[in-house]
Amino acid sequence: MIPKETVDLILDTVRIEDIVGDFVTLKRRGANYVACCPFHQEKTPSFYVSPSKGIYKCFGCGKSGSAVGFLMEHEHNSYVEALRYIAKRYNIEIVEEEESPEELASRQRSESLMLVSEFAQKFFADQLKSGEGKDVGLAYYHSRRLEDDTIEKFGLGWAPSARTALLDAARKAGYKDEYLLDAGLVVKREDGTLGDKFRERVMFPIQSVSGRTIAFSGRTLKADNPAKYVNSPDTEIYRKSNILFGIYFAKSEISRQDECIIVEGNIDYVMLQQLGIHNVVAPCGTALTVQQIRLIHKFTENVLLMNDGDSAGIHASLKDIDLILYEGLNVRVVLLPEGEDPDSFSKGRSLEEVQAYIAANAKDFLDFKSDILLGEAAGNPLKKANFVNDIADTIARIPDAVKRSVYVNTAAEKFDVAPDILFARVKTTRDRLLEDERRERERAARGTDGAESPSSALLRNPVRENAPEGDSAPSASARYTPENRILAAVEGDILTFLLQHGCEELHFETDSPYYDPDATDTVAGFIASAIESTGQPLANSGFRRVYDAYLDLYDEGRQQDEIIRTLLDSPDRTLAEIAGEFSTRPYQLSVKRLESSMTSEQSWLVAYVPRAMLTLAERRVASRLEEIRRALHDITSEESLPLLQEMTKLQKRQKKLKDTLKKED
């Protein structure tokens, strides 16, 4: 764990323009910096960095936050990884505390494995500069039309033919045999001696999400070698089912374009990257796995499968569709012309031509699957019925009920089948999947061994419906939307007051009902007193977390700038993003009728902060009235009497609040 004193030093030292400037070309504009936003595509700069406030803000897509938040958003670092990046940037030493001997040994071991892997990557890359590596390895890369800049960018290399070339170099550099063995770089022969695992192969290093080399994939150049590719085994730092080839280089562009292209091979990946298609990844020598799909889901909800146009490519696409849909992602498929793969297809074509082909030929999974299956079923009603059931089973794997409904109706129209029939099939399949998963979870909880059912083997996680469970954070699409929409605007107003003016004092006139001759209140104090007096917290869970965190810091005596910076640097990224949104957004209240009489920001706050609290009270009454109206539809007349009595009282309360608000207009 990083000590608090070190965290504070890191946060006090960091300059946001330095960190953002490591990834974005900034141009000074007055006291701030401006650039085209790295989080969405734009031609006119709307991304601003404020050194004085220590924040960034895009007025196009709304992204905002601190230096730590930028690294977490742009580089998809964890909170600790972001702190480590900043510490390294400013040469701040981090001395860990409270690590057990076992934890320390494990961390040091993982670091040793990464260091020896990074040494191997540099060794393989250096081999391309002379001798066998230059004559064979580099010549191969050039024959595949890879440019030198591309070879260097992705750290490609050559494993020499000598049995112990890497082993000898690593020993000379001081690396221990045990780490070379455990990293999968050398193997023990039958006679007990050690030798290099990779020999006479062009080498593709595999990076972690944070960019460190953790494994390799080596391709033979010999036509008679049955092992075309040899890959690193699973190790303490590498699980091939959990990582995607090229994810480190692609992750930012995947987020920016909001789509991930999946290709099959290493060369396919590198060639598309060289062409200019940067949101692309490849499985690491395995079929696509659930863990890899979940990794993609951290950066986007949209996937494009780009497979060969032959039967193997079609089969792979059909298999992957079910996995991807089940994880809640949207999937399209583009098949290349028969005999082509992404590598060959990109040769001799411009970026614009490849992009145009994708745009013209990418199909939604339903269109792709129906075209393939119905083509095979032409003229055979029984086959057609089986294929329609197959497509219904695929739709059943979609977690979102609304999406399922849309696809069922679309499929019913496409296949000329009654929607009710498809809905019934989808429900039956979904119920079976849920039951299989329930049994699998029970078996796992008991620690019982046993073979998985076909469906649970395919879908190894619980079905996720629309609503979040427990205390899980809201999804990105719902992050700033209060659960109770009647309260949406006013709760956002209150959060804006708190995050932009919380520590400012309110000086009420002597004739104001809020005037207290013995005390001067702040915006935060006034809001907190008003909310606490009702015993009702803010309705939105995300807003409530920010509200509580703000007041905790406020009660400690922190100043406004320090409070905001602490919120923006929070490891709770939902809290940090909401704080960034409402501490920087332009004020959006409908206050035109008030502004003409306001001579200063202070007088404006004195008038409108109390008004916001009155509006909150009126909206809470309106929310409860709406709940009662909905409830009255589902109960008997006898049961409705208490609710009708409550409604009458609330309507009187609402009228009184509205009259008060009108008087203040």
Residue 315 lies in domain:
244-458
Examine the domain organization and report whether 448 and 564 are in the same domain: no
> Per-residue pLDDT tens for 362-407?
999 999 988 887 766 667 788 888 888 999 999 999 988 889 999 9
pLDDT (average), residues 280-288: 88
Examine the domain organization and report whether 449 and 482 are in the same domain: no
Examine the domain organization and report whether 485 and 449 are in the same domain: no
Question: Residue 589: is its pLDDT beyond 60?
Answer: no
Environment class of residue 449 by beta-carbon count within 10 Å: exposed (0-12), middle (13-18) or buried (19+)?
Answer: exposed
pLDDT (average), residues 328-356: 92
Question: Residue 587: is its pLDDT beyond 60?
Answer: no
Give strand pairing partners of 302: 330
pLDDT (average), residues 507-521: 76
* 8 A C-beta contact, residue 297 and residue 329: yes
Inside any domain, residue 614? yes
Please give the mean pLDDT across all residues of the chain.
Answer: 83
For residue 243 the two structure tokens come to 């990582």
Inside any domain, residue 587? yes
Report the range of poorest mean pLDDT among 97-106, 400-409, 592-601. 592-601
Distance CA 548, CA 532 (A): 12
* Residue 153 belongs to domain with CATH number: 3.90.980.10
> Per-residue pLDDT tens for 199-217?
999 999 999 887 889 999 9
Examine the domain organization and report whether 273 and 407 are in the same domain: yes
Inside any domain, residue 322? yes
For residue 624 the two structure tokens come to 């409860």
pLDDT score, position 195: 95
Question: Residue 251: is its pLDDT beyond 70?
Answer: yes
* Residue 30 belongs to domain with CATH number: 3.90.580.10
Examine the domain organization and report whether 308 and 415 are in the same domain: yes
Inside any domain, residue 60? yes
Inside any domain, residue 238? no
Inside any domain, residue 467? no
> Per-residue pLDDT tens for 140-164?
999 999 999 999 999 999 999 999 9
Examine the domain organization and report whether 616 and 539 are in the same domain: yes
- Of residues 133 and 107, which shows the higher confidence score? 133
**SS3 state at 2:** coil
pLDDT score, position 529: 86
How many structural domains compose the chain? Answer: 4
Distances (CA, A) of 128 to 121, 193, 260, 330, 485: 12, 27, 31, 41, 62
Report the range of poorest mean pLDDT among 442-446, 479-483, 600-604, 624-628. 479-483
* pLDDT band (50, 70, 90) for residue 178: very high
- Of residues 103 and 472, which shows the higher confidence score? 103
Contact residues for 508 (Cβ-Cβ < 8 A; gap 6+): 514, 515, 516, 606
For residue 411 the two structure tokens come to 């499929």
pLDDT score, position 445: 60
Report the range of poorest mean pLDDT among 209-213, 423-427, 532-536, 635-639. 635-639
461 CB-side CA count, 13 A: 15
Give the best-scoring range by mean pLDDT among 97-106, 320-329, 438-447, 472-481.
320-329
pLDDT score, position 452: 39
* 8 A C-beta contact, residue 373 and residue 391: yes
pLDDT score, position 623: 82
Examine the domain organization and report whether 253 and 212 are in the same domain: no
pLDDT (average), residues 67-77: 86
pLDDT score, position 595: 44
- Residue with the two structure tokens 């501490």: 583
Report the range of poorest mean pLDDT among 16-20, 272-276, 372-376, 509-513. 372-376
Q: In what order do the strands lie in the sheet with 302-307?
A: 244-245, 280-283, 260-262, 302-307, 330-335, 363-364
Distance CA 654, CA 232 (A): 69
For residue 476 the two structure tokens come to 């990105």
- Of residues 243 and 515, which shows the higher confidence score? 243
For residue 259 the two structure tokens come to 């789509």
Examine the domain organization and report whether 81 and 217 are in the same domain: no
Inside any domain, residue 94? no
Inside any domain, residue 405? yes
pLDDT score, position 183: 95
Examine the domain organization and report whether 144 and 275 are in the same domain: no
pLDDT (average), residues 168-180: 95
Question: Residue 551: is its pLDDT beyond 80?
Answer: yes
**Where does a domain end: 203, 231, 259?**
231
Examine the domain organization and report whether 508 and 560 are in the same domain: yes
**Where does a domain end: 208, 231, 254?**
231
DSSP 146-186: --HHHHHHTT-EEE-SSTTHHHHHHHHTT--HHHHHHTTSE
pLDDT score, position 472: 34
Examine the domain organization and report whether 85 and 106 are in the same domain: no
* pLDDT band (50, 70, 90) for residue 586: low
- Residue with the two structure tokens 């040469």: 91
**Where does a domain end: 171, 201, 231?**
231
pLDDT score, position 100: 67
- Of residues 361 and 312, which shows the higher confidence score? 361
* 8 A C-beta contact, residue 160 and residue 200: yes
Examine the domain organization and report whether 431 and 296 are in the same domain: yes
Length of the chain as a residue count: 665
* pLDDT band (50, 70, 90) for residue 361: very high
* Residue 344 belongs to domain with CATH number: 3.40.1360.10
Distance CA 535, CA 547 (A): 14
> Per-residue pLDDT tens for 443-480?
766 654 444 333 333 333 333 333 323 333 333 334 44
Q: Residue 328 is which amino acid?
A: G
Contact residues for 136 (Cβ-Cβ < 8 A; gap 6+): 158, 200, 221
Question: Residue 556: is its pLDDT beyond 90?
Answer: no
Give the best-scoring range by mean pLDDT among 18-32, 114-128, 526-540, 614-628.
114-128
pLDDT score, position 596: 42
